[in-house]
Amino acid sequence: MSERRDVVLLGSTGSIGTQAIDVVSRNPDHFRVVALAAGGGNLELLAAQAAQLRVAVVATGDASKRAALEELLNRHAGAGHGIEVLAGPDAAAEVAARPADVVLNGITGAIGLAPTLAALGAGSTLALANKESLIIGGELVTGAAAPGQIVPVDSEHSALAQALRGGTPDEVKRLVVTASGGPFRGRTRADLEKVTPAQALRHPTWNMGPMVTTNSATLVNKGLEVIEAHLLFGIPFDRIDVVVHPQSIVHSMVEFTDGSTLAQCSPPDMRLPIALGMGWPHRVPEAIGGLDWTTASTWEFFPLDDEAFPGVRLARAAGERAGTFPAVYNAANEECVWAFHDGRIGFNQILDVVGDVLADHTQEGSLTIEAVLAADTWARERARERMAKLS
């Protein structure tokens, strides 16, 4: 990499955000964080990050926390620090629109949509961890992006983007997305009846935020990632496969028309796809340590159990129907995941309810941002109604 890139970091206090700061801190010649945004759940950390990185602007999604953030900034950065403070539900999108080379969207959930569109509108490269915004926005997001403007950070899609450098688009036969299988791999639907939120949060290979970790346990994460792969790379759903690979070392593969398959392999450490996402197309030297080839190891691959884990099948159907269906899939799932963590529904009921809400959905009119947001709201309400009937 030649020139240093200015980075806007959204979701800075989360798993992706803190790892991105680690990458930036170890590579000051390559990256500089110029703005931060977080929700408000960890104001102390947000203020400490802003002071440490000496950003120009810091944002919290919670309007009621402006004064508290200003006070913490004075403590961490000293009075007269000059850091601009934004607060409120639109703050992350406002920050995303500020001049920068790269916006890394590490927010969780559908609320990442407005910042994603703001970053694209501003002409910045969008290093995208917040897969939900692409999935629910669909062609509204891809249509707002110039070629190459969205760079995937999600490990599988980073792997696919790297492997795709090994052939021309017409030489691609299929994409193979790997799944760890989550903490409940090998269990039957009956076994899953009684699993607890604490068990669902024990991911076998990755340390991530609670939503994506739970989605890994249900395989909804893989369903979302199939839609994400379709939107990013323009490959039809029937040419995107999922294979279970418990070691999370092969992050995904591209099979080419001549029978060759290229896989991207590395230890399960998000700092690699984060660094590549911010530096794309350049690699950041020593982003992580590589694989150890001196000791014996085994990489396994298994077919997906669609009966116990229907999340991928439902996502494929929603993705094929496109329009507002992916937004409904995602929103119903977000509601159900929090209900599962609150003890209001069981594990299997997450996808039972998501399936019911999708079956009830009909799209009216063409796809607009308003239609996506309305479908998101409708799906959350319908999921809550369904869950209330269960208990």
Ligand X SMILES: CC(=O)[C@@H](O)[C@H](O)COP(=O)(O)O
Sequence ranges of the binding site: 13-16, 39, 42, 130-132, 154-156, 180, 203, 209, 216, 221-222, 225
Please report, as ranges, the residues that interact with ligand NDP according to CB under 6 A.
10-17, 37-42, 61, 92, 106-108, 111, 129-132, 154-155, 206, 208-209, 212, 270
Nearest approach in angstroms of CB 294 to ligand NDP is 27
Q: Say whether residue 179 binds ligand X (CB under 6 A).
A: yes
Which helix H or strand E contains 222, and what residues bound it?
helix 220-233
Q: Is 258 exposed, middle or buried (0-12, 13-18, 19+ CB in 10 A)?
A: exposed
Nearest CA among 383, 282, 274 for reference residue 339: 383
Nearest CA among 307, 347, 305, 313 for reference residue 329: 313
Query: What is the contact mask toward ligand X in residues 151 to 170, using x (rule: CB under 6 A)?
Result: ---xxx--------------
154 or 335: CB nearest Mn ion: 154
Integer CA distances (angstroms), 354 to 316, 333, 363, in order: 13, 6, 16
Q: What is the DSSP letter of 4?
A: P
Nearest CA among 86, 85, 80, 122 for reference residue 105: 122
The Cα 177–Cα 243 span in angstroms is 6
3 state SS of 221 = helix
Q: Say whether residue 324 binds ligand X (CB under 6 A).
A: no
Integer CA distances (angstroms), 23 to 16, 59, 109, 384, in order: 11, 21, 23, 40
Nearest CA among 292, 282, 164, 293 for reference residue 234: 164
| Token pair belonging to 342 | 């609150």
Stretch that binds ligand X, among 119-127, 148-156, 319-327, 373-381 (CB under 6 A): 148-156
Stretch that binds Mn ion, among 43-51, 137-145, 153-161, 232-240 (CB under 5 A): 153-161
Q: Say whether residue 214 binds ligand X (CB under 6 A).
A: no
Residue 222 partner contact from ligand NDP, ligand X, Mn ion, none using kind-dependent CB cut-offs of 5 to 8 Å: ligand X
Residue 319 partner contact from Mn ion, ligand NDP, ligand X, none using kind-dependent CB cut-offs of 5 to 8 Å: none
Residue positions in the annotated binding site for 1-deoxy-D-xylulose 5-phosphate? Answer: 131, 155-156, 180, 203, 216, 221-222, 225
Query: What is the contact mask toward ligand X in residues 188 to 207, using x (rule: CB under 6 A)?
Result: ------------------x-
Nearest approach in angstroms of CB 3 to ligand NDP is 26
Q: What is the DSSP letter of 2?
A: -
Torsion (CA) 234, 124, 222, 311 in degrees, nearest 10: -90
Q: How many residues bind ligand X (CB under 6 A)?
A: 12
Q: Say whether residue 212 binds ligand X (CB under 6 A).
A: yes
One residue of 154, 255, 334, 356 binding Mn ion per CB under 5 A: 154
Beta strand pairing status for 261-265 and 250-256?
A: antiparallel
Residue showing tokens 């703005």 = 35
Nearest approach in angstroms of CB 225 to Mn ion is 6
Residue 38 partner contact from ligand X, Mn ion, ligand NDP, none using kind-dependent CB cut-offs of 5 to 8 Å: ligand NDP
Q: Say whether residue 334 binds Mn ion (CB under 5 A).
A: no
Nearest approach in angstroms of CB 20 to Mn ion is 16
One residue of 270, 274, 331, 354 binding ligand X per CB under 6 A: 270
Residue positions in the annotated binding site for NADPH? Answer: 13-16, 39, 42, 130, 132, 209
